[in-house]
Structure 1
Amino acid sequence: MKRAIPPCNIRIDKEGDWYYKGAQVIRRDIYLYFNKHLVKESDGRYLLHIDNERCYLDVEDTPFVVKEVGFQDVFKIVLNDESEET
């Protein structure tokens, strides 16, 4: 029998900030680690998948937010997880 996936007690607000049990995740290394393990399910829900552990989290709008836009030969967009799109 398949085990139900529990909630994480983690919320991502509309600005892309993460909160655990109401307290903002302020350590950048933890924030980036969680972002790296964020998975979007086919039903649109998000979960953290770390090793064999999984849990659902609440996302107010979108987990990824544009933090910077630049232009130098091409447009470059930097997201809150420090990834870049051109």
Structure 2
Amino acid sequence: MDNLHSPQLFIDKDGQWYADSVLMIRKEIITLFASHLKKDGQDKYGIDWKSQWYPVSVEDAPFFVQSLNEEAGQLMIQLYDGRRFPLPPGNIIMKNNIPYISLFWQLDTKLSRPSYNELCKNLIERDDHYFIQYGENEWLVEEKV
């Protein structure tokens, strides 16, 4: 029993999960893995499950926002893994014209083009800066060099 195979896990730039180079399609397994994803002190990712650490290689960001909508007066994001969260406070960071937010760790979540375009419907300019404004909340959009 000690020789169980642990698959090589990988998350691509669009948030898709792979096990041994095969695309994972079972959403409940992807959600389970994503909900147990942790980051260690050396910026490495892994699934922490039953006192075991299973490394996960990440091409870009470990989480990917597929869609965004309004729910009960607040903006909600839906991740590729199926989980939904309120859009977190903090800045929207543009790196190479790609938008990122910080959900659990710094810049751990990439926004899809459609979700960012939806956010930009609430874009305002003030004092030479751009903000996404929704109700009483604002998110500064800033370029990271």
Question: TM class, shorter-chain normalised?
Answer: 0.7 to 0.9
Unmatched segments (≥5 aa) in structure 1: 1-6
Distance 1:76 1:34 in 2: 21
Distance 1:38 1:17 in 2: 14
Distance 1:69 1:35 in 2: 19
| Match runs of 1:34-73 below 5 Å | 34-71=33-70, 73=73
Partner of 2:19: 20
Distance 1:18 1:32 in 2: 10
- C-alpha displacement of 1:55: 1.9
Which residue type is aligned with residue 45 of structure 2? Answer: Y
Partner of 2:143: none
Unmatched segments (≥5 aa) in structure 2: 1-5, 88-145
C-alpha change, 1:13 and 1:34, in structure 2 (3 Å) is: same
Moved more, 67-76 or 27-36: 67-76
**C-alpha RMSD of matched pairs (Å):** 1.7
Partner of 2:130: none
TM-score using structure 2 length: 0.50
Partner of 1:79: 79
Give the length in aligned residue pairs. 80
Tell me the percent identity. Answer: 29
Report the structure number with the largest CA radius of gyration: 2
Distance 2:37 2:55 in 1: 10
